Structures are given as C-alpha cells and as structure tokens.
Amino acid sequence: MRGAWWLVATLPLLWGFAQERRTANDGLLAPRGSLTHDYEGVELPEYYTSGPVALADNTPSDNPITNGGANLGRVLFFDRRLSVNDAVACASCHQQVNGFADPRPRSAGFRGGRTSRHSMGLINVRYFFGGRMFWDERAFSLEDQATRPLADQIEMGWLDMRELTTKLEKVDFYPPLFRAAFGDDEITMDRIALALAQFQRTLVSYRSRYDQALKNPDHLDKVLTADELRGMALFGALKPSEMEVYDLHGARSLGCANCHQTEAMISGMRPADPGTAVEDRGYSRALRQGIDNGLPGNPVQFKAPSLRNIELTAPYMHDARFSTLDQVLNHYSEQVVTRRTLDPRLRENEGTNDPARKLNLTQEEKEALIAFLKTLTDRAMMEDPMFSDPFGWPPE
C-alpha cells in the first residue's frame, strides 16, 4: 500500500517532467521523435522516375530534395508558430489522414475566418507540370506558393515577414535545423519557402493497391478485381490491347484520364474548365485578384489536385460542392454546364463547340469507377512518420 501511495504522489512530477521535455524555450511544444528521415533514399517506382511523370516533375535545379531541407520543411509544415498567434499550422488545413486536404468545406484560419475555397490535397504536387499552384494556378511554383498562406490575412496572418523570421530565430530547435538544411543558422523567408517546398515534394503516393498492381503491368488482375479493372477501363487508364486481356473488349472509356493524367493521376499542362465554376463560392475574392472574371482571354479555369487518395480528400472540387464520389460522378454524368469556357474534352464531340457531353452512367458503371478510384488509397502514406506531425498539438 505504501508503495502505491508513493507512486500516486510522484505521478504529477513525472507528468510535469514529460511535459517539460516536450516544451521549447518559448513555452510551446517542441518536435519529438526522429527528425532525421531519409527522404533522399525513398525509392520510387519506375513509372515515377522515368517517362511522362518524370518529365512533369517541377523540382527546380536550385532546390532539389535534401534530407536536411525536407526534415526542416516537415517541422515548419506542422508548426503552429507559423501563424501569427500560434493557432494554425499548414497541416491544420492540409491533414495527413485526409490526403493533406481538409474535411471542412472551407478551412478555418488563425482567427477562425474561413478560406474562400476548399483546401487542396497536396499529394503528388511535385508532378504538376509547370508547377503552378492553387486551383486557379495563381502561384508560379511551390516555392512561390509557400509564403502566400503566411501573408494571407485569413490563413496565417503575417503583415511583416521579418516578424516571423525573428520569432523563429528565438526558438531553440530552429537554428540547428536551418544549419542542417542550409549550412548555417540564418533564418530567412527564402529558406523557409525552400524547405516547405522540399518537404511537399516528398509527398508522393506509391504504396496503394493500384501501385501494387502496377508492379505486374501485364497481370493487373493479380491485384485488381474485375470490378476495379472495369472502372480502370472506364476511367480511360487501360489501353485497348489491355482491355482484351481482361475480357473488357468493347468497354467504353469516359476519358477521365485525358485530364487526370499518368500514374500520378494529376492535371496535365493545360487547365480545364470542368463545367463547375458557376457556383464558385470563392468568386468575389478571386474577382478582386483579376481572375475568374469570365472575360475573353481570361476564362474560368481550374486545375485538379492528384486523384490519388481521393477517397480521403472529400469534400470535392474547388468549392467543395460534392461530399461524395457518387455526387462527383453524377456531375460528370448529367450536370456539366455548357459554357464558352467548357473544356473541349467534355463536349459531345471532342475538340468542337458542341454542348456538354452527358455520360449517362449506369449504377454499375458508377460503382466500378468508384471501386477503381478507391484502389488509389495509400494507407501506408497516411500513417508514415516521415509525413506526420512531430509536435502532437492538442485538437484545435
């Protein structure tokens, strides 16, 4: 009994000690666990390292992924200190378990204000050709993008970036991380942007069932079910010769892969108007910035983030109008709006000014497509410590 009392009496002390070890000199949480992951050593499958996906890689020659840079980028990405009042991190709106998107239709910023558009899943951002960022591609690169949420008066709230660098200089764990990344302790906005971009370029998904299937490209049916293969054919990701192999002779392709391209499943070079923008809730804000105004030469056009992990990134589209994949398919099936700006690939005859094509999907076709889209889910990535929160912040 006496022993038990002793234990009860010391528990608060032990607890306090554990807390203290987790706290940095500014009284906020310090990162824990391994901060030295081997990002450079990740071996991506060949369809990522050669061919069209590799050609679309937007890594600039002056900011390749290094272990020091990506490790620093991870800490920055998950650190709430990056908002002016320590309220939100990049990861608050780009959550690992949700494919680095946000389950909230509009994310909450540092003072609870709402973003005008849905947060984007960040997986495979590295393979968006040309590297322009945001739904409307208004940022020129990941490096350029990184500073924008920091300065945004809804998202992270900085008016003077020098206050941010001064703040980080005073946090004990940052100078060594900058030294490991860039050779010395100096903390600049440029370096913050470079490191954030490096970390985000490590967010590549290659461990889904789809990837397992691609290990045997001539026998996809070793991993994928008949339904999933039918969905893959509908998506447009199977060649006619492959359809023969899987008894899908004559199956129709809906041409999804014309826009959601390659194994990276990401928008290609040209942005597309998928016939959704009329209800754009971000419209007024976008208009102020001189985009989305529908004027000739300046049409409404959006890119799509990678469809990898699409099962986890709901709600869907830039305005989060759809909460399920079923609703997305109903859109493509019957609800695409014919407008001047509509992408030719969604018209009755591709490349003409015809009205929007109605796909008239059957229930079985929808189910097959959704089954295929779910093969893109990469649970290993959602749990990988390389991409996880090193701080363990309490819920917001």
Which parts of this chain interact with ligand HEC (CB under 6 A)? 82, 88, 90, 92-94, 107, 109, 115, 117, 119-122, 125, 128, 133-135, 142, 145-146, 149-150, 155-156, 196, 200, 254-256, 258-260, 267, 272, 274, 276, 302-305, 307, 310, 313, 316-318, 325, 328, 332, 343, 345-346, 369
Q: How many helices (H) and strands (E) does the chain have?
A: 16, 2
Comparing CB distances to ligand HEC, the nearer of 5 and 304 is: 304
Q: Which is nearer to ligand HEC, 272 or 381 (CB)?
A: 272
Minimum Å distance from CB 104 to ligand HEC? 9
Residue 302 CB, nearest approach to ligand HEC (Å): 4
**How far is residue 340 from each of residues 301, 312, 337, 349, 361, measured CA to CA in Å?**
11, 33, 10, 15, 24
CB 213 to ligand HEC: min, Å: 18
Please give the structure tokens belonging to residue 269.
Answer: 């070079």
Nearest-5° Cα angle at 68, 62 to 70: 75
Q: Nearer Cβ to ligand HEC, position 222 or 340?
A: 340
Could you check whether the bond before residue 305 is cis, i.e. omega within 30 degrees of 0? no
Number of Cβ atoms within 10 Å of the Cβ of 318: 23
The residue among 19 and 150 lying less far from ligand HEC, judged by its C-beta, is 150
92 vs 375 by CB, closer to ligand HEC: 92
Spatial distance between the Cα atoms of 333 and 217, rounded to a whole number of angstroms: 30
- Phi first, then psi: give them for residue 108, nearest 5 degrees: -95, 130
Helix (H) or strand (E) holding 260: strand 260-261
Task: Give the residues across from 347 on adjacent strands.
Answer: 356
Q: Least distance in Å: CB of 25 to ligand HEC?
A: 23
In the bound complex, what is the minimum distance in angstroms from residue 69's beta carbon to ligand HEC?
Answer: 14
Burial 265-290 (b: 16+ CB within 10 A, else e): bbbbeebbbbbbbeebbbbeebeeee
Q: Which is nearer to ligand HEC, 8 or 72 (CB)?
A: 72
**For ligand HEC, which is the closer residue by CB, 142 or 187?**
142
Least distance between ligand HEC and beta carbon 91 (Å): 8
In angstroms, give the least distance from the CB of 361 to ligand HEC.
8
Name the residue with tokens 């199956």.
Answer: 251
